[in-house]
Chain A
Amino acid sequence: MSSQPRLVEVRRNVLKQNDVVARALRQRFRESEIFVVSLVSSPGSGKTMLLERTLAQLRQRYRVAALVGDLATENDAERLARSQAPVKQITTGTLCHLEAAMIERALDGWETGPLDFLFIENVGNLVCPSSYDLGENLRFVLLSVTEGEDKPLKYPTIFNSADVAVVTKMDLAAAVEFDRTALERNIRAVRPGMEIFPVSAKTGEGMAEYLGFLRSRQAELRATMLSAD
């Protein structure tokens, strides 16, 4: 018998467990006809502010709810609850990102009634959330005009993992000499063809286009489900 170690092929995905839960969530959302959008960005990019305005606007015609992830405090949930939409905080303790199992746990026993939209605000972090599928239909990556036009080049993985980019705090663009062309070029260098929405949740600039996009994507999903019935 040889004393050499024996090499055995395994080929197993380390994040399989998360992917399995995410797939089950996606199926569950589909069956309940909920359009799910997650938001990722660095801390302070304006996820909560954008979500506050999004919930308030969409609530007029749709049934909306939000899950918000943070390491600690219920502050964001309290802010978002002002919109009167059902909101639940997920406190992760020391964990820097949300995982599919946390979404599953948060949904269990949460009485929201039927929903059209569910928003998931991830923990403010441009690195770790990129590895975890949460079962969402669309992942939005946010960045504010104050963060620098080269941010997509510094964090290509998260930008590539997202479906749509939202450029926030456009009301500050002139003050920080924001270069929109450069930012759009950098975003599309790491994620070719990515849709980009420049907005100011404060002044309302660009919000109509951004909300219109959400509404049309949700309508598309409804249409594909109706035709599948």
Chain B
Amino acid sequence: MHELSIAINIIDLVEEEAERLGKRRVCAIHLKLGQFSGVVKEALLNSYELACEQTSLRGTRLVIEEVPIAIYCATCGARRPVHSTQFLCCAECGTPAFEIIEGKEIEVSALELHP
């Protein structure tokens, strides 16, 4: 379980960002979490709650948006979803997926700041 490390990384990053934005108080953190990031959403939410307890982010919400895998399909010549994580091929034409273009990210996309 490495979600606790990830949660601590998020907290460090957000504290730095809040400082940069003029010491603003954060009420929520929006996170994009790829289906292939290797991070489990539920475990991350629990870890975050624990990890932010003793920090300036205590009481903030972590809002996770799960990002499905997207590939570039050479046959279709376009961006496509995959059949499933157990079967990495183009959902449209079945060509094996060699190039993943989305779905691995762990990214803080936005912050909600107190007015």
CB-based nearest A residue for B97: A192
- Shortest A6–chain B CB gap in Å is 5
Asked if A58 lies at the interface with its beta carbon under 8 angstroms from chain B, I say no
Give the 7 A-B residue pairs with the shortest CB-CB distance, closest first: A192-B96, A128-B2, A130-B38, A131-B38, A5-B112, A14-B106, A153-B86
8 Å CB contact of A189 from B39, B87, B112, B115: B87
Q: How far is the CA of A191 from the CA of B100 in the complex (A)?
A: 11
Residues in B with CB closer than 8 Å to A13 are 105-107
A15-B106, A97-B2, A191-B88 known; A8+B38 contact, CB < 8 A: no
Asked if A173 lies at the interface with its beta carbon under 8 angstroms from chain B, I say no
Q: How far is the CA of A100 from the CA of B31 in the complex (A)?
A: 23
- Shortest B71–chain A CB gap in Å is 10
Asked if B27 lies at the interface with its beta carbon under 8 angstroms from chain A, I say yes
Residues in B with CB closer than 8 Å to A4 are 115
Contact yes or no, A157 B115, CB < 8 A: no
Asked if B67 lies at the interface with its beta carbon under 8 angstroms from chain A, I say no
CB-based nearest B residue for A131: B38
B-contact bits for A84-99, CB 8 A (1 contact / 0 none): 0000000000011101
8 Å CB contact of A8 from B88, B106, B110: B110
Residues in B with CB closer than 8 Å to A66 are none
What interface size band does chain B fall in? 35 or more
Q: A128-B38, A131-B106 are in contact. List 19 more A-B contacts (CB 8 A).
A: A2-B115, A3-B115, A5-B28, A7-B113, A8-B21, A8-B110, A8-B111, A10-B109, A11-B109, A13-B107, A14-B108, A15-B6, A131-B37, A131-B39, A156-B36, A156-B88, A157-B36, A160-B36, A192-B88
Contact yes or no, B38 A14, CB < 8 A: no
Asked if B114 lies at the interface with its beta carbon under 8 angstroms from chain A, I say yes
Q: List 21 A-B contacts (CB under 8 A).
A: A3-B115, A5-B113, A8-B111, A10-B17, A10-B108, A13-B106, A14-B10, A14-B106, A17-B9, A95-B5, A130-B38, A131-B2, A131-B106, A153-B86, A156-B36, A156-B85, A156-B88, A160-B36, A189-B88, A190-B86, A192-B88
Q: How far is the CA of A128 from the CA of B28 in the complex (A)?
A: 26
A-contact bits for B18-46, CB 8 A (1 contact / 0 none): 00010000011011000011110000000
Q: How far is the CA of A129 from the CA of B18 in the complex (A)?
A: 30
A96-B1, A131-B106, A192-B89 known; A6+B112 contact, CB < 8 A: yes
Asked if A158 lies at the interface with its beta carbon under 8 angstroms from chain B, I say yes
- Shortest A149–chain B CB gap in Å is 13
Asked if A105 lies at the interface with its beta carbon under 8 angstroms from chain B, I say no
8 Å CB contact of A5 from B5, B27, B31, B87: B27
Asked if B13 lies at the interface with its beta carbon under 8 angstroms from chain A, I say yes
Residues in A with CB closer than 8 Å to B88 are 156, 160, 189-192
Q: How far is the CA of A3 from the CA of B115 in the complex (A)?
A: 6
Asked if A1 lies at the interface with its beta carbon under 8 angstroms from chain B, I say yes
8 Å CB contact of B110 from A1, A7, A16, A95: A7
CB-based nearest A residue for B3: A128
8 Å CB contact of A7 from B13, B31, B112: B112
B-contact bits for A1-41, CB 8 A (1 contact / 0 none): 11111111111111111000000000000000000000000
